[in-house]
Structure 1
Amino acid sequence: MDAESLIQHVQRDSAVTPDPFSETTDWLNDEASLNKFHQPGWQVVLWAIAYSLIILVSVTGNVTVIWIILAHRRMRTVTNYFLVNLAFSDVSMATFNTFFNFVYALHNDWYFGLGYCRFQNFFPITAMFSSIYSMAAIAVDRYMAIIHPLKPRLSSTSTKGVIGLIWIVAVLLAFPQCYYSVTQFYYPRTVCLVDWPDDYGGTHQLSYQYAVIVLIYLLPLLVMLVTYSLVGRTLWGAHIPGEASDHYHNQITAKRKVVKMMIVVVSTFALCWLPYHVYFILGTFNAEIYKRRYIQQVYLSIFWLAMSSTMYNPIIYCCLNQRFRAGFRHAFAWCPFVKVSEEDRMELQHTHTFRVTMTRSHHREASTRLELDGHTAIEMKKMSFNKPNIKENDNSPLEKDS
């Protein structure tokens, strides 16, 4: 169930109308009820601005995230490939779903034909499945990197294979929504709905609805809750030896920052979509709520919150990750108030700059203590620079995404 599903759920046959903006056949015979959900112009303008904000921020932010990762070799890690998939799903949802469903929700009149009716009932579930399972894949990858750092990690090819599998399963899950989608004309309006074989509220529709809730919300969130709990216990609960090097402490700190960022991303997604799922679960038990006059504003609010989940991730990355912050500065360097520092350039252009800098700093400190013999001190200093303990091309799992 995703943005499109909300229209799916609300669409039913001509006898039952769980959709907050659709009417039963009885309503259609009542002249006064034709404008039951008519909104004044100022209200439409405010909602249009609110939904336009989602589209603008989501498209701009997620396209920038994709560019940051794909255009800079240092950013091409397993975690970031899944972030590319997540960003693509979000920007697709905002582009192909938000505007059309908003227009439909204003007066429940479908203007876009049968083909797009099928697509708008199909693609949102596909994109939402891809989004949340990309997050779940990141959680599992973080779990393997931190709990089992010596086990083999996903390669670039394997990661792309996993992403492809996610989309295949997503398409299969959403296919029934596309297959049963129809447009029906009720003078003077056309509605887009899912015409289930045994009508709305029957076994087919309810079984599918609950399966979707479990598969694209509850199950992946449970996986992420378990994996991040175990990762958190390791990163924050484990005792760090008192003699551990500064470099080791920096590694742990970097891993904590990555995990914190992903926990914020997952929590935001869960909170944005929770009212949406609750809305349709309640409607399953009491379809009468869809006929209330106030339900249109409730629906538009819940729909806006659900769709807004597509715009928060780039903001979270920028606020909580130094490399993404540097990438955003690069992308918006044309703005007069955005300044790109040399450190920002180093963050994206030089592999493992942070790790090498810390290593060399450590060697400088060590060399200054070797002053008992000037000649020995100089020689040791040269050796320390020529043979760092941690090589620049080191691909330690603990540091790969720091």
Structure 2
Amino acid sequence: MGTCTVETDANISSGLESNTTGITAFSMPGWQLALWAAAYLVLVLVAVTGNATVIWIILAHQRMRTVTNYFIVNLALADLCMAAFNAVFNFVYASHNIWYFGRAFCYFQNLFPVTVMFVSIYSMTAIAADRYIAIVHPFQPRLSAPGTRAVIAGIWLVALALAFPQCFYSTIIMDQGATKCVVAWPKDNGGKVLLWYHLAVIALIYFLPLSVMFFAYSVIGFTLWRRGVPGYHAHGANSQYLQAKKKEDIYCHKFIQQVYLALFWLAMSSTMYNPIIYCCLNRRFRSGFRIAFRCCPWVTPTAEDKMELTHTPSLSRRVNRCHTKETLFISGDVAPSEATSGQAGGPPDGVPTES
């Protein structure tokens, strides 16, 4: 949310740590506030529970620990943090257009949620690149575990670097008696700092990732169509909205609060879609969700669900890349020594397979 009037530097002082309360032009009736609160509560609960479950399914089961799934863990962690730290506090801020959380949390709010948004985008880009290598160049070596961790660490470092200016220029101001958390960009040199920052964000957060994902998934689609291989379910990129606080006359209209809350809910709802997609389209994640929510009376996990995540010695899958058939051979129970000697045709214990 923004302000209706342009404030001077005299409004910024160290004495603004105390939060201003009361009624503002953006106060809404109780029933409206309750409806919006319920909508955001559902969003946060679904996003946090779903993404936490995805993280547990992958990290708690050896068979799920693949390169792609480690990037999915990174994406799920970013979406979980986005829902928990961005959606909740921005809803409270937008509901009255008053900042209640102090100067220190103003810095945090302009650093961490922006960072995890960037992490989410680059995680989807890394997944696209990994799928491209696995499908288009299947005989090239895949990323090792240390290499995967290095890429994930690099994603977080780049995201922190891109988000840091937002935090550095964050401050608390007073606007018509209300406390506000804003990003006060320097106005010297014709606002060139803000201009160059926005250009860098547009290039590194939008054009570069979208170009990589478009190229990777286009080539993947063409390759699978040409080979006639059973399709891999590629992970689609959900659009992310980068919110910016601007001081324009439009903020003086009361309806803009409802528009902001609706658009922000739609933007934040992207954090809860991925777990639902995984559950609907991937049988192993579906089995993991049934096991995770087995305490619910309407959920009944089966023995096959547990086998999907843990049972690998007696399961052998051979995919013929020259045909559109996938044959599944399930051998009988064998001793561990026989399984590792290759009689079952499957990988030895402890070797993860692709999900």
Q: Specify if TM > 0.5.
A: yes
Distance 1:12 1:143 in 2: 48
Read off the aligned partner of 1:324 and give its amino acid letter: F
Q: Between 180-189 and 139-148, report the one with greater CA deviation.
A: 180-189
Distance 1:354 1:391 in 2: 6
CA contact (8 A) 1:132 1:216 kept: yes
Q: Residues 231, 388 of structure 1: CA spacing in aligned structure 2 closer, same or farther, 3 A cutoff?
A: farther
- Secondary structure of 2:219's aligned partner: helix
| 1:327 pairs with one of 285, 288, 293 | 288
CA contact (8 A) 1:114 1:182 kept: yes
Match of 1:14 in 2: 6
Match of 1:289 in 2: 250
TM-score by length of 1: 0.74
Q: Give yes or no for the alignment of 1:221 onto 2:228.
A: no
Read off the aligned partner of 2:354 and give its amino acid letter: D
Distance 2:89 2:50 in 1: 21
Structure of greater Rg: 1
TM-score by length of 2: 0.83
CA contact (8 A) 2:172 2:179 kept: yes
| 2:65 pairs with one of 76, 94, 119 | 76
Q: Which has the higher helix share?
A: 1
Distance 2:328 2:87 in 1: 49
Q: Between 56-65 and 344-353, report the one with greater CA deviation.
A: 344-353
Read off the aligned partner of 1:222 and give its amino acid letter: S
Q: Calculate percent identity across the aligned residue pairs.
A: 53
Read off the aligned partner of 1:401 and give its amino acid letter: E
Q: Residues 394, 239 of structure 1: CA spacing in aligned structure 2 closer, same or farther, 3 A cutoff?
A: farther
| 2:153 pairs with one of 157, 164, 170 | 164
Match of 2:109 in 1: 120
CA contact (8 A) 1:143 1:228 kept: yes
CA contact (8 A) 1:356 1:392 kept: no
Q: What is the Cα deviation at residue 149 of structure 1? A: 0.8
Read off the aligned partner of 2:130 and give its amino acid letter: D
Q: Give yes or no for the alignment of 1:337 onto 2:298.
A: yes
Unaligned runs of 5+ in 2: 9-22, 319-326, 333-340
Distance 2:312 2:346 in 1: 11
Match of 1:308 in 2: 269
Match of 2:226 in 1: 238
Match of 1:129 in 2: 118
CA contact (8 A) 1:359 1:390 kept: no
How large is the RMSD of aligned CA atoms in angstroms?
3.0
Q: Give yes or no for the alignment of 1:347 onto 2:302.
A: no
CA contact (8 A) 2:315 2:346 kept: no
- Secondary structure of 1:238's aligned partner: helix
Read off the aligned partner of 1:78 and give its amino acid letter: V
Match of 1:41 in 2: 30
Distance 2:315 2:198 in 1: 48
Q: Give yes or no for the alignment of 1:391 onto 2:352.
A: no
- Secondary structure of 1:190's aligned partner: strand
| 2:141 pairs with one of 149, 152, 155 | 152
Distance 1:107 1:352 in 2: 58
